[in-house]
Amino acid sequence: MNRRQFLKATSAAFAFSTLPTLSSLGSDFLDIKKRVAVIGPGWYGKLDLFRLLQVAPVEVVSICDVDAKMAEDAANQIAGRQLSGNRPRIYSDYRNLLKEKDFDIVIIDTPDHWHALPMIDAVKSGADVWVQKPTGVDIVESQAMLAAAWKYDKVVQVGTQRRSTPHLIEARDRVIKEGLLGKISHADVCCYYHMRKGLTKEQAPDIPAPNYLDFDMWTGPAPMQPFNKIIHPGSWRAYMEYSNGIVGDMCVHMLDMVRWMLDLGMPTSVNSIGGIYVDKAARATTPDTQTATFTFPEMNVVWNHRSWGSAPDPEYPWAGIIYGEKGTLKLSVHKYEFFPHSSKKATLSGTPLFEFEQYPVDRTEKRLEKHVASAVRWHMLDFLKAVESRSRPVADIEEGHISTAACILANHSMELGRSLDWDNKAGKVKGDDEANALLARPYRKPWIHPHPDRV
């Protein structure tokens, strides 16, 4: 489906006219080239950055990566992509990059355990920030990130780009906003991808970190443990030491999508069960099986993941399914379908927007998730519009914090074996000192854990 077909197929009632374009950002924006710094220009860091370069006249002035090979490769690719042809400066310590203060925007695409500190320091340095999800690996981190954005009055967009995915915007407008579901009282969210790294200690033994990687800095505030090939590059999410598992990686997207579509806030309680049930021999410490119930005043949203076996619906292995009294809406990154109760076939459907005519490099870019390219571009344009107008973007840090905190509570509930009732005003679990003690992970010295009262 190309852009022309997509726009022709959509109803005039859709809110696509609100999508920012370069011209709608105003002449001041076009005349002033925004300067960008990138902390973590690995796989997704480049994917995000290159979409920004496609839609805005930005200049990438500096990048930071603790992997010297990755940094060199990213600098070379950026020089080939940006209009000036300039090669950005390279740093191995983000704090030295931020001292320069010669940027307007900072993109943070580090591993999860390195989201909070750079984001807080970036807004302190005067930058608006794009930060990948989840907002933090613990709830106090996430609360501190939110507090810092508010204190320093900065625009922060979280990389939960389902809110900017064209076919999902279409589904929200055509089905939910038009009332085709009727009363909505339940949603399922799920992931059945075999994405947990199932290597054993024999297959991935402890080895010295490569000399081009500053593994001490890579570890940062996380607990230090021996290096192995799973950890870097790319598979660190197999470890709870650096992430929140599949819930923090995949549930945060689908839960956030449902929250956005249905205008849900923070759940009042979270209950979860799960663990490592099947893949016990693997080095991975993330649960291979987990169910979580997020209770909102309006309804429940239930999450399931298994990194083994098959998906109940092979067409929706990573998805959200919203149930109404009049029908069912199935949603994924690859399509949506609306099934009214009176029909066994979908009466409305949509697929991703591919913009190959306008952005032909999308066809050949290495490791690009082609079906999400338009979503990231739209998300970047929404971010730029918020930067220019000093307004909240669609995936504002507060929304990212809510979805992140809910997923982290699911892990705590699973660990403690009980439901957790959340006091949103206090930012704590109600009447549960043991659960509240988990809200801030211990930091490895000399790193100091951020706190919302001390940003």
DSSP for 11-70? Answer: -TTSSGGGS--TGGG-HHHHHS--EEEEE--SHHHHHHHHHHHHHS--EEEEEE-SBHHH
> Can you give 93-161 as a three-state secondary structure string?
CHHHHHHHCCCCEEEECCCHHHCHHHHHHHHHCCCEEEECCCCCCCHHHHHHHHHHHHHCCCCEEECCH
Range of the domain at 141: 16-162
How far apart are alpha carbons 312 and 317 in whole angstroms?
8
Contact between 303 and 294 (Cβ < 8 Å): yes
Tell me what pLDDT residue 343 has: 85
Residue 414 maps to a domain: no
In this structure, is residue 259 part of a structural domain? no
Q: What is the mean pLDDT of residues 56-66?
A: 97
- In a domain, residue 415? The reply is no
Q: pLDDT band at residue 7, thresholds of 50, 70 and 90?
A: very low
Residue 447 lies in a domain: no
In a domain, 148, yes or no: yes
Percent of the chain with pLDDT over 70: 93
Q: 30 CB contacts (<8 Å, ≥6 apart)?
A: 22, 23, 57
What whole-number distance in Å separates Cα of residue 257 and Cα of residue 297? 17
Mind listing the pLDDT tens digit for each residue in 269-322? 999 999 999 999 999 999 999 999 999 999 999 999 999 999 999 999 999 999
Output the pLDDT for position 234. Answer: 86
Taking residues 421-435, what's their average pLDDT? Answer: 98
Q: Look up residue 147 and give its two tokens.
A: 């507090």
What was the pLDDT predicted at 299? Answer: 97
Instruction: Tell me if 342 is assigned to some domain.
Output: no
* CA 250 – CA 133 distance, rounded (Å): 10
Instruction: Using only the alpha carbons of the chain, give its radius of gyration.
Output: 21
Identity at 23, one-letter amino acid code: S
Q: Evaluate whether residue 88 is within a structural domain.
A: yes
**Average pLDDT of the chain?**
93
In a domain, 355, yes or no: no
- Alpha-carbon torsion angle 181, 182, 186, 190, nearest 10: 10
pLDDT at position 4 over 50: no
Exposure string of 116-153, with b = 16+ CB inside 10 Å and e = fewer, is bbbbbbbbebebbbbbbbbbbbbbbbbbbbbbbbeebe
At 399, phi and psi to the nearest 5?
Answer: -65, -40
Distance CA 120, CA 17 (A): 33
pLDDT value for 32: 55
Per the structure, the count of domains in the chain is 1
- In which band, very low, low, confident or very high, does the pLDDT at 1 lie, cut at 50, 70 and 90? very low
pLDDT digits (tens, 9 = 90+) for 314-354: 999 999 999 999 999 999 999 999 999 988 899 999 999 99
- pLDDT (tens digit, 9 = 90+) per residue, 207-223? 999 999 999 999 999 99
206 alpha carbon, distance to own chain's centre: 30
* Close Cβ partners of 95 (under 8 Å, ≥ 6 residues apart): 121
Cis peptide bond upstream of 226, omega within 30: no
State pLDDT tens for residues 232-271: 998 999 999 999 999 999 999 999 999 999 999 999 999 9
Q: Is the pLDDT of residue 13 over 50?
A: no
**Residue 392 pLDDT exceeds 60:** yes
The H or E element containing residue 253 is: helix 252-262
8 Å CB contact between 238 and 197? yes
Residue 113 sits in a domain of what CATH number? 3.40.50.720
pTM of the full predicted structure?
0.94
pLDDT at 10: 39
